[in-house]
Structure 1
Amino acid sequence: MKNGWESKELKAVSAINYGYTESASADPIGPRFLRITDIQNDNVEWKNVPYCNIAKDDLPKYRLKAGDIVFARTGATTGKSFLVSDPPKEAVFASYLIRLRLLDKDLSPEFVSLFFQTAEYWRAIKEGSSGSAQGGFNASKLGALSIPFPPIPEQRRIVGILDEAFAGIATAKANAEKNLQNARALFESHLNAVFTQRGDGELPTGERSAKLRPTDAAKDEKRVTRTGGRDATTRHIAPELALAVGMPVTRPSRNWNWTALTDLARLESGHTPSRRHPEYWNGQIPWIGIKDAKVNHGRHIVDTEQKTNDLGLANSSARLLPKNTVCLSRTASVGYVVVMGKPMATSQDFVNWVCSNRLVPDFLKYVFLAEGREGFFRYSSGAVHQTIYYPEAKAFHIAHPDIAEQQRIVLECDELRAKSQRLESIYRRKLAALDELKKSLLFQAFSGQL
């Protein structure tokens, strides 16, 4: 420790107390009632903080004042702290918070609050968390933490330096995050422009009827759906881009056509071999689950977390599907899209499309990506978990051009996506570097090197 610095346990320099237990109310029945959820981005909007009922005799014990530091003691935000600087005249703190109030005049609240952002502090939180599955940190453990500190003038100097540096870092992060969002929006905007199908009026009734009749491709045994179950729904969900349920009544734009997806690709389901038979697992056949689709969303997938084998396929409804099959997650995590980079099987959480020579697999991938994960909720239903059911999937129609134009669009989208991802990578690295800079400055500050 640097000469002139001291180190003391927090319990020796402060009073540490748990918060008040009561229900929050939107009605002004008492003081403001600060909860964990009211602390967002190191800020509290006091006008949005609810109220609580509290006995007059209890109010002084739980009243907040400037210079208090409160901590989340449980849940996902365990350890998060907030320096109270300008509270309302009457405000108390809730029971899932711990309040630290400095008693030692040789310590600045601003300096101490910076200590609660250091890597050393967060290591202590991680090591000391206990209790439920969500973890927790109690007042005794907080009080046992030691804080190094210099004389008050040096504390104020350090606080001034860090406040100025952190303000600059916050501005730089805000700019990098905006640029990151713009990089993502660049590709999303391009997809939207490519797949918007506003057209120029309605299809004639006769043309609609012709398009609703099965095509030669649909009659081909290789093209028909192999999922079994109910037939395609007869209901219609109008397109916002290039995907619809049922034949749209409007013309597609340019020289595109609306076609039933089952006329262009064979719909396949997936399945999970029994977990009660370990001999069905740990083989050589990649098996796509939701986790795999999440990690590989929008890309070609070449490996999976779990693998089955021939025995697993033989004793389940899972199927080995060919390379370039397009997989769309349809259950609780709706809207993840991957393309098989080799023959694989999938769980029942996917609808899988084996494309004919009239449909480029990556074109279909981009049709799905253009919808966005939230866009697929238009085609899903369910009281608890949203699911795209097979009658809707069987009734999918897509707008598409000829095969040469599909290939051109795929190439264009691939190039723009690669550019967008390069930009995203640059801005993520900038954000990571700014976080590391903040950690470095805090380390220097509390080791006497600043």
Structure 2
Amino acid sequence: MRADWQTGQLGDFFEIVTGGTPPKAKKEMYGSYMPLVKPPELTGAGVQSGEDFLSEEGAAASRILPVGSVLVSCIGNLGKIGISKVELATNQQINSIKPNAGKAFPEFVFYLVQAPHFSDQLHRLASGTTVSIVNKSKFKSILVDLPSLPEQKNIVATLDEAFEGIDTVVANTEKNLANAREMFESYLSSVFSQRGDVWVERRLEEIASSTQIGLVRNRKEQGDSLEYSYVKMDNITPNNYFDSKNIVRVEAKQSEVEKYSLKKGDLLFSTRNSYELVGKSCLYDIEKKEPVLFNNNIMRIRFVEEISPNFAAYLFHSPKVKKQLENMKSGTTNVSAIYYKSLKNIRLAFPSLDTQKTICGRLDEMSARTQELEAIYQHKLTALAELKQSLLQKAFSSELTAREAEAAVEEATA
């Protein structure tokens, strides 16, 4: 950063607006007049629509954002961003930076909130044990550096050109990744829709030998050098795999270790999460000598002998079961839950144990091929995302030239 750049807190330069949600019971507040934007609609691009719309009355009671406002998700999935292309309102999970023509171009601010320096601060400021939260006052305290308006214009032009090339490759790679996942989902759906007459349907509580909510440990009680591994809801991926990376560690009494340990074949079910992620699940299929404990936002489910845990895990990912789970979600926009009093009544169909194992063999083979493709595409997406972060880092350190950006993009997308 050069000496002529201004440094200050975000709130020193811009007005920050936290959104809100009119009560759903007041139907007169909803209509087709103005978008009410939520975090899932923040895709790192322009925002001009949403799943929900407000009426004129609802808009009048909301905090309306002008065109060029930069939207940042600050509850749950931190750092999802967008820039308003129309007047709109947001829910309470989003803090927005209103444009200030005398200080910055909206497009510059849009790139600014994507830069590592901004993102790192956002995550450090997060509080909350279940769902990460950065409130308005903390958000306003984020330190930013602003160059002159002409230099902002040059930075935006350089990044626009570089990111256009990267985004084209990203879009093609994401399409390939989605096709790989859809291929497996289609195969999974066909397996469970072509069941024979010998399949039996039971409620979960009839085929679960035990269920257990995990151990409570807040963030201050977690670390990297404590005694026991501690599985949290982020270790269950949105694609229903177990992710062993970034597992934290905790201390526990022997009685807690005995009660909250995992073993191979346990089904891990996310009972509390954001609305879109609650209900995700995966099979814990790892043999470890040391005890591995699990978090209180996860339910451990073990099954009776005539149910293959692997089959049950696939069954939980089938369209019919997912639809049942969707109808069981309750809670707020920020934190949703699926309680066992509802989950125990979910209906699951299964054949004989031998047939379950045969089906799992076919699904395992297809899943392995799908994961190989996903790994290839995900590696490429990660490399492209890292390139973007590198370019942003250099741009906001006044170290990026248009020629350097062009060369870096050509090399990465060749």
Specify whether residues 148 and 382 from structure 1 end up closer, same or farther in structure 2 by C-alpha distance, changes over 3 A only.
closer
Specify whether residues 156 and 373 from structure 1 end up closer, same or farther in structure 2 by C-alpha distance, changes over 3 A only.
same
| Alignment correspondent of 2:108 | 111
Instruction: Please give the per-residue CA displacement for 1:119-168, whole angstroms capped at 9, x wherever unaligned.
Output: 1233344456789972234499569633235x72x544432232122223
| Alignment correspondent of 1:177 | 174
Specify whether residues 27 and 429 from structure 1 end up closer, same or farther in structure 2 by C-alpha distance, changes over 3 A only.
same
Measured after TM superposition, the shift of residue 436 of structure 1 is 0.9
Instruction: Please give the per-residue CA displacement for 1:15-72, whole angstroms capped at 9, x wherever unaligned.
Output: 633559998698799xx878763873233326946546899xxxxxx98666x54455
Specify whether residues 183 and 7 from structure 1 end up closer, same or farther in structure 2 by C-alpha distance, changes over 3 A only.
same
* Alpha carbons 1:70, 1:84 under 8 Å: kept: yes
Q: Residue 428 of structure 1 is aligned with which of 378, 382, 388? A: 378
AA paired with 1:6?
Answer: D
AA paired with 2:369?
Answer: K
Unaligned runs of 5+ in 2: 217-227, 273-278, 331-337, 402-414
AA paired with 1:185?
Answer: E
AA paired with 1:418?
Answer: A
| Alignment correspondent of 1:245 | 202
Specify whether residues 412 and 299 from structure 1 end up closer, same or farther in structure 2 by C-alpha distance, changes over 3 A only.
farther
Measured after TM superposition, the shift of residue 438 of structure 1 is 1.0
User: TM-score, with normalisation over the residues of structure 2?
Assistant: 0.58
* Alpha carbons 1:18, 1:99 under 8 Å: kept: yes
Measured after TM superposition, the shift of residue 421 of structure 1 is 1.0
SS at match of 1:354: coil
SS at match of 1:102: coil
Unaligned runs of 5+ in 1: 56-61, 204-210, 212-241, 247-261, 276-285
* Alpha carbons 2:269, 2:280 under 8 Å: kept: yes
**Distance in 1 (alpha carbons) for counterparts of 2:350 and 2:76:** 42
* Alpha carbons 1:268, 1:353 under 8 Å: kept: yes
AA paired with 1:375?
Answer: K
Matches within 5 A, 1:4-83: 6-9=4-7, 16-19=14-17, 37=38, 40-41=42-43, 42-45=45-48, 48=53, 51=56, 68-70=68-70, 72=72, 75-76=75-76, 83=83
* Alpha carbons 2:236, 2:282 under 8 Å: kept: yes
Specify whether residues 64 and 353 from structure 1 end up closer, same or farther in structure 2 by C-alpha distance, changes over 3 A only.
closer
**Distance in 1 (alpha carbons) for counterparts of 2:313 and 2:185:** 12
Q: Residue 365 of structure 1 is aligned with which of 306, 310, 315? A: 310
| Alignment correspondent of 1:59 | none
* Alpha carbons 2:72, 2:80 under 8 Å: kept: yes
| Alignment correspondent of 2:183 | 186
| Alignment correspondent of 1:146 | 145
* Alpha carbons 2:170, 2:384 under 8 Å: kept: yes
Measured after TM superposition, the shift of residue 269 of structure 1 is 2.6
**Distance in 2 (alpha carbons) for counterparts of 1:330 and 1:11:** 37
Identity of aligned pairs, percent?
22
SS at match of 2:317: helix
Measured after TM superposition, the shift of residue 103 of structure 1 is 1.8
AA paired with 2:351?
Answer: A
Q: Tell whether 2:165 aligns with 1:165.
A: no
| Alignment correspondent of 2:134 | 135
* Alpha carbons 1:34, 1:49 under 8 Å: kept: yes
**Distance in 1 (alpha carbons) for counterparts of 2:260 and 2:11:** 66
* Alpha carbons 1:75, 1:135 under 8 Å: kept: yes
Instruction: Please give the per-residue CA displacement for 1:389-437, whole angstroms capped at 9, x wherever unaligned.
Output: 89969x9662248x5x766654443332222111111111112111111
The number of residues matched between the two structures is 352
Q: Indicate the structure (1 or 2) with the bigger Cα radius of gyration.
A: 1
Specify whether residues 366 and 180 from structure 1 end up closer, same or farther in structure 2 by C-alpha distance, changes over 3 A only.
farther
User: TM-score, with normalisation over the residues of structure 1?
Assistant: 0.54
SS at match of 1:268: strand
| Alignment correspondent of 1:222 | none
Matches within 5 A, 1:211-360: 244-245=201-202, 268-269=209-210, 294=236, 327=267, 333=279, 336-338=282-284, 341=287, 349-355=300-306
**Distance in 2 (alpha carbons) for counterparts of 1:292 and 1:113:** 27
Specify whether residues 309 and 272 from structure 1 end up closer, same or farther in structure 2 by C-alpha distance, changes over 3 A only.
farther
| Alignment correspondent of 1:375 | 320
Measured after TM superposition, the shift of residue 101 of structure 1 is 0.8
* Alpha carbons 1:16, 1:143 under 8 Å: kept: no
Specify whether residues 346 and 28 from structure 1 end up closer, same or farther in structure 2 by C-alpha distance, changes over 3 A only.
closer
Specify whether residues 182 and 6 from structure 1 end up closer, same or farther in structure 2 by C-alpha distance, changes over 3 A only.
same
| Alignment correspondent of 2:225 | none
**Distance in 2 (alpha carbons) for counterparts of 1:290 and 1:397:** 29
**Distance in 2 (alpha carbons) for counterparts of 1:319 and 1:28:** 46
Specify whether residues 369 and 346 from structure 1 end up closer, same or farther in structure 2 by C-alpha distance, changes over 3 A only.
farther
